[in-house]
Structures are given as structure tokens and as C-alpha cells.
Amino acid sequence: MSSFEGGGGGEKKYVEFCTGVNGLDKVILREVRGQSAEVYLNGGQVTSWKNEYGEELLFLSSKAVFKPPTAIRGGIPISFPQFGMHGSLEQHGFARNTVWTIDKDPPPFPTVSSNKAFIDLILKPSEDDPKSWPHRFEFRIRITLGPGGDLMLTSRIRNTNTDGKPFTFTFAYNNYFYLTDISEVRIEGLETLDYLDNLNSRDRVTEQGDAITFESEVCI
């Protein structure tokens, strides 16, 4: 186990490298007021995000399996290069069940990371990738925990095909938030956007409401 302390203004930011469940490598980001985030290299996945009171903000299933190449159920899985079943690959692609590596030489990111705890990870092609998606790429992600406990994920995906051939992909942070009362949840900012309705034969429809609310669990 090793740790790094950084930051300015007299406040310490902690980045701790250690082992988690089943000996898998993980990184813990900590802030001086007690906020924290845990990131497993398996899937490049955030599995825990706690506020200054130690309250968990992400849901992690009690049935989650920490054994590559099984995807971890909960937290913030990364869907790439395919979201859902909208393509020839397995559901949500292969990034979430591949072991990422720590990026020791990351390029500049647009996010301001000074006075914040952060970790840079990278995913590159391997022999285990599906033959149906034979593209070369670099997927970089910076996971940042700010002084107020805010969590930010910033991704950069680069085409490294030597022949310059383009490729298409879909991508998502598949967030699992821990909720105490789903009836209090409101999702705003989606009005006028088109979406595919999985509950209605994936028909393309336009969102009309100014907020989406829930009365109970919704299976999609």
C-alpha cells in the first residue's frame, strides 16, 4: 500500500493505492473533510463515493462479483464502445470488465485538478478484445474528488488506428445512485430531446415534460 499527499493552501489531498476485495487493485481518493471515493482498476470503476459524514452516495449490489472479467454490479460502470444492446458486442461493451492501468503520463485535461485528489487511468486494446471490434484506441479517464466532495469523471477517447480509419462507438457512465426515497427524485434538462423507448419496442420519441419523476422502481 502506498499513498500520495498533495494540494495547496495547507490542505492535504490523499491518493492511496491498495488492494480491495479478492486482492484487486484499487485507488482511494480522500479529502481533508472526510469525503472519499474508491476506484477499482477492474473496469476503471468508481465503486464508492462518500460525503463528509461517511454516508454512501452510490449503490453497490450485495451480489457484486469482484473477479475479472466479470463486471462489478453497482457504482459507476463505464459503457464503451457500446451502450446497452445497440450493436454487435455484449451488453455495454468491454471497458467495464477489462482491467485498466494507471496513466503515468497523461496529456493535459480541460478539468482543473489543482487542490484536488485525482487519479488518471487508461485503457488500450488487448488480445482479449472482441474480434468484431478490431480498432485501436486510447481511452483515458481522470477521476477527481474536489474539496467540497464533488466527484468528476472526465474522459478522452482517441482513435489510434494506424491506417487512419474512423470508427463509431457509444459511451455512458452507467451511474448507480443510492436513494432513500425514489419519489423525491427529479431528472431535469431532458425536455425536447429524442430517445429510444425500451418499454415500447425502442420507438423514437421526444421527451415533453420539464422533469421526469418516479413513483416506484422502473425496469428498463
Residues in the chain with pLDDT < 70? 1-13, 113, 219-220
Residue 6: the pLDDT is 47
Residue 88: the pLDDT is 79
Task: Indicate which CATH number applies to the domain containing 107.
Answer: 2.70.98.10
Tell me: do 187 and 105 sit in the same domain. Answer: no
49-80 per-position pLDDT tens digit: 999 999 999 999 999 999 999 999 999 999 99
Tell me: do 117 and 212 sit in the same domain. Answer: no
Residue 1: the pLDDT is 47
Residue 202: the pLDDT is 83
Residue 130: the pLDDT is 74
Residue 220: the pLDDT is 61
User: Which residues, including other chains, have CB under 8 Å from residue 187's CB and lie 6 or more apart?
Assistant: 211, 212, 213
Tell me: do 172 and 192 sit in the same domain. Answer: no
How far, CA to CA in Å, does 79 sit from each of 3, 14, 60, 70, 73?
29, 28, 17, 14, 13
Tell me: do 192 and 172 sit in the same domain. Answer: no
Residue 85: the pLDDT is 78
Residue 177: the pLDDT is 93
Tell me: do 197 and 141 sit in the same domain. Answer: no
Tell me: do 31 and 69 sit in the same domain. Answer: yes
The answer to whether the predicted template modeling score (pTM) of the entire model surpasses 0.75 is yes
Residue 13: the pLDDT is 61
Report residue 183 as a C-alpha cell: 419519489
Q: Return the SS3 of 10.
A: coil
State the CB neighbour count (10 A cutoff) for residue 150.
12
Give the number of domains in the chain: 2
In angstroms, the CA 89 to CA 171 distance is 13
Residue 145: the pLDDT is 95
Residue 114: the pLDDT is 72
Tell me: do 122 and 189 sit in the same domain. Answer: no
Tell me: do 104 and 202 sit in the same domain. Answer: no
